[in-house]
Structure 1
Amino acid sequence: MTTMTAAPSRMAARTGATQFYFYMSLCCAAVAFVSFVPTYWLPMKAGTLKVNPIVHVHGAVFFGWSVFLVLQTWLASSGRIARHRSVGLIGVSFATAMTIFGTLVAINGLKEAAAIGMRDEAIAFVIVPLSTIAFFAVVFTLAIANVRQPELHKRLMLLAAISILDAPIARWFLTFLAPPGAVGPPPVAAAIPPAVVAYLLVVAAMVFDWRTRGRPHAVYAIGGSALLLLNLLNVPISASHPWHAFASGLLALAQ
């Protein structure tokens, strides 16, 4: 009797876990879409958005990946594991394009800010998008390397998705908290509050793990801590001579 009742219980737990990742991916996609409403979607609809075309490509690639992640988690949660794996290479293509275009947009922003006389501010702030895309690329690569270990793979994929949400969330901070008429990049420290808001999703994942497996997975404990530490270290590193030399080199190549 105990064995017979335990089996359905374990099955229900596994089903709940896969559905959790589906809902988390939906949340990430919703945050990515809604957060760009005031600074991208509405200005584009009004015809007032003036940006380099590469920004549109960047946006399409990043949002396309978030939608693809929803599809992949839905396939997994509905038991279509073979289909989930067969289309996985599309995700690799998305992540590769995200790394490329994320870097290009960061450098384009550096160039545009320098052009309006904010060279030092731009050189400091470019560490934020570059470190974010680098973290995403590393975690995504680890997720692919552990594709045959589902417990690692799905958590790494979720961490990768959450790691790039600070930029969308920052749009609301800029919309409601930036001084009127502010132009150019904000201080590097201004990127920390949006990042902390995004990391609440990591906390939610840790709580879910705690309730379903008795303890948070190491991916969240180590990866989440590394992500938070990265954002905190961006502040002193962005003011260092080595970083200014590196970013100045990027700016020189872009001009």
Structure 2
Amino acid sequence: MTEAVMGARPSAVAPRQFYVWMAGTCFLIAVLGFLPTYWMPLAKGSFKAEPMVHVHGIVMFAWVTFFFTQTRLVAQGKILAHRTWGMLGISIITAMAFIVTAVTSLRLAQAALPGQPAAIVREVRAFTWVTMGALAFIVPVFTLAIVKLKDSETHKRLILLMTISMLGAPIARWFLFAAPPPDPNAPPWPAGLPVIGAPPMLIAISAALIGDILLFVAMAYDWRTRGKVHPVYLIGGAIMLLMHVTMAQVGDSAAWQSVAVAIGRLAVAG
């Protein structure tokens, strides 16, 4: 490993190490973010959810693990291994697209059951834009990263940008963990119906923007080492930020509410 790194050009080694640190940071955020609301309850046997929710967790954790491992391989000069394992990344993102859609569709189908509180149903449908909007960003960015495989400077920035866009979910879990307990005087949920709910949009937006700090770290590193910021961060980053700050408006729009109803019917049809 040492020989591989020492054999690389000094100017190439530093950026590789930077991306290892960035991937490691994303990995830690993902693990620590889900620690209080998923990993710890799961270890205690108190986390109850449908099997597909666990599959969703495995797939998301697989991605951050894969991303960190891939950046380590590049930093060690093991480019052939990096490219060989790249096919696994395609499988993970494909699985992510299906499982995120499936979980979202299930929640929307539960919200569509007769008797569910109308105000809560609208909130659930609005919040699904957070997950489906993220997927609408992840898939094209990853596809472009595959197209740009031979352009390593663009490829690695696209993968990093895509991973940063996922960090809002684990960060938001700490907001929820610190939230006050439910009101004990609240009216009971309608009998026979699954309990549904959605975090406030403010939490989702705040968490996403905290994660976006890593984008500005990457941009600052580009500016310091290249004298300019790569277009991936300027264009892709701008799109990501715009999507994050407009979550509430899009989710509450009549257009998205109608789309959410259609997504919910997928679970019913399945």
TM-score (norm 2): 0.86
Residue 246 of structure 1 is aligned with which of 233, 240, 259? 259
Q: Pick closer, same or farther for the CA change 1:198–1:204 going to 2, 3 Å.
A: same
Query: C-alpha displacement at 1:189, in angstroms?
Result: 3.5
Find the residue that maps to 1:126 and give its secondary structure. helix
| Cα separation, 2, equivalents of 1:239 and 1:59 | 27
Query: C-alpha displacement at 1:187, in angstroms?
Result: 3.0
| Cα separation, 1, equivalents of 2:176 and 2:12 | 40
Kept in 2, the 8 Å contact 1:133–1:164? The answer is no
Residue 173 of structure 1 is aligned with which of 152, 175, 181? 175
What's 2:138 paired with?
136
What's 2:202 paired with?
189
Q: Specify which structure has the bigger relative contact order, considering alpha-carbon pairs within 8 angstroms and separated by 6 or more residues.
A: 2
| Cα separation, 2, equivalents of 1:249 and 1:113 | 12
What's 2:91 paired with?
93
> Letter of the aligned partner of 2:101 in structure 1?
T
Q: Pick closer, same or farther for the CA change 1:112–1:47 going to 2, 3 Å.
A: farther
| Cα separation, 2, equivalents of 1:128 and 1:179 | 23
> Letter of the aligned partner of 1:253 in structure 2?
L
What's 1:122 paired with?
124
Query: C-alpha displacement at 1:228, in angstroms?
Result: 0.9
Q: How many residues align?
A: 246
The more displaced of 245-254 and 79-88 is 245-254
Kept in 2, the 8 Å contact 1:40–1:49? The answer is yes
Report % sequence identity: 42
Structure 1 residue runs without a partner (length 5+): 1-7
1:122-168 deviations in Å (ceiling 9; x for gaps): 11111110001121111111111100000000000100111111111
Find the residue that maps to 1:36 and give its secondary structure. helix
What's 1:234 paired with?
247
What's 1:200 paired with?
213
| Cα separation, 2, equivalents of 1:103 and 1:41 | 22
Answering whether residue 209 of structure 2 is matched by residue 225 of structure 1, we say no
| Cα separation, 2, equivalents of 1:253 and 1:203 | 38
Kept in 2, the 8 Å contact 1:166–1:198? The answer is yes
What's 2:24 paired with?
26
Find the residue that maps to 1:49 and give its secondary structure. coil
Find the residue that maps to 1:215 and give its secondary structure. coil
Answering whether residue 227 of structure 2 is matched by residue 214 of structure 1, we say yes
1:53-81 deviations in Å (ceiling 9; x for gaps): 10111111111121111111111111111
Residue 46 of structure 1 is aligned with which of 28, 44, 47? 44
Query: C-alpha displacement at 1:234, in angstroms?
Result: 2.4
Query: C-alpha displacement at 1:114, in angstroms?
Result: 4.9
TM-score (norm 1): 0.91
| Cα separation, 1, equivalents of 2:44 and 2:176 | 20
Kept in 2, the 8 Å contact 1:140–1:156? The answer is yes
Report runs of 4+ in structure 1 exceeding 6 Å deviation: none
Aligned-residue CA RMSD (Å): 1.8
Find the residue that maps to 1:70 and give its secondary structure. helix
What's 1:154 paired with?
156
1:82-126 deviations in Å (ceiling 9; x for gaps): 111112111111111111112212222333455553211111111
| Cα separation, 1, equivalents of 2:103 and 2:146 | 25
What's 1:3 paired with?
none
Query: C-alpha displacement at 1:180, in angstroms?
Result: 1.9
The more displaced of 151-160 and 74-83 is 74-83
